[in-house]
């Protein structure tokens, strides 16, 4: 299966791989506080409108696997009419999320301009097999993924409170043991050339 990066609108009740990197390949996260702040922003902006199945933040890029919610309670910040059209809604939410981080980053480091490339990249994930492999691939981004703090891997294998769709992810892999075993396999049946081209 060949996955192409799509700039089309995000549709309700669909899975998407959302990813982006620092503009001009520069670092987008300089320290742990940057990572933590980005995740706090994700909780505010994404949780009301998306289910989060996986994520990984790296110093110069990020990945999310999101499922758009079909039933949405629109907040005062995200009314349909303020987003020009309903079909643009999810993309606008993601843009506001990224822009919110950029504004704070620029204020702290006394800089101007974009932190991430624009527009963000999005790929429709249209098979369960691809979804499983993509979850593993995203978690394996850092070499020390079993200990890495800024991905969803540890949240999924733990029993601590989380905003990740842990039960749904584990169900995709049948159980926690198989989830862990699948992450030991470095030979994924996944066409990831588009991601390799994107990453540094």
Q: What is the pLDDT of residues 61-70, one digit of tens each?
A: 999 999 999 8
Cβ neighbors of 39 (< 8 A, separation 6 or more) are: 57, 150
Task: Give the largest Cα separation in the chain, rounded.
Answer: 48
Instruction: Name the more confident of 110 and 80.
Output: 110
Q: Which residue has the tokens 């992450």?
A: 183
Structure tokens at 16: 């998407």
* pLDDT tens-digit readout, 153-197: 999 999 999 999 999 999 999 999 999 999 997 655 544 443 443
Q: Which of 53, 43, 25, 61 is nearest to 100 (CA)?
A: 43
Domain parsing of the chain, residue ranges = 15-70+77-191
pLDDT band, very low/low/confident/very high, at 72 (cuts 50, 70, 90): confident
The H or E element containing residue 129 is helix 128-139
Superfamily of domain 15-70+77-191: Transposase IS200-like (3.30.70.1290)
Q: Percentage of residues in the chain with pLDDT exceeding 90?
A: 77
Over residues 100-125, the pLDDT tens digits come to 999 999 999 999 999 999 899 999 99
Give per-residue pLDDT as tens, 32-59: 999 999 999 999 999 999 999 999 999 9
Q: What is the pLDDT of residue 88?
A: 86
Would you tell me how many other CB atoms lie within 10 Å of the CB of residue 41?
17
pLDDT-derived band at 80 (thresholds 50, 70, 90) equals low
Give the whole-angstrom CA distance, residue 15 versus residue 139: 17
Which residues are CB-contacts of 9 (< 8 A; sequence separation ≥ 6)? 87, 88, 90, 91
Give counts: helices (H), strands (E), the chain.
7, 4
Is it the case that residue 81 has pLDDT exceeding 80? Answer: no
């Amino acid at each position: 299966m060949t996955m192409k990066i799509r700039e089309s609108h995000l549709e309700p009740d669909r899975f998407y791989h959302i990813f982006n990197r620092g503009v001009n390949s520069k670092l987008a996260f300089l320290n742990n506080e940057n990572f933590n702040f980005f995740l706090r922003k994700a909780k505010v902006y994404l949780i009301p409108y998306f289910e989060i199945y996986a994520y990984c933040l790296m110093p110069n890029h990020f990945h999310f696997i999101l499922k758009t919610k079909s039933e949405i309670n629109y907040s005062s910040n995200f009314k349909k009419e303020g987003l020009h059209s309903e079909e643009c809604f999810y993309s606008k939410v993601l843009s506001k999320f990224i822009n919110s981080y950029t504004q704070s980053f620029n204020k702290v480091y006394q800089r101007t301009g974009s932190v991430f490339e624009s527009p963000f990249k999005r790929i429709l994930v249209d098979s369960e097999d691809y979804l499983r492999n993509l979850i593993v691939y995203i978690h394996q981004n850092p070499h020390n993924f079993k200990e890495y703090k800024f991905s969803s891997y540890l949240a999924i294998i733990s029993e601590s409170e989380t905003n990740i769709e842990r039960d749904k992810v584990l169900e995709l892999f049948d159980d926690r043991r198989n989830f862990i075993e699948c992450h030991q396999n470095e030979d994924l049946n996944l066409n990831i050339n588009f991601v390799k081209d994107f990453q540094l």
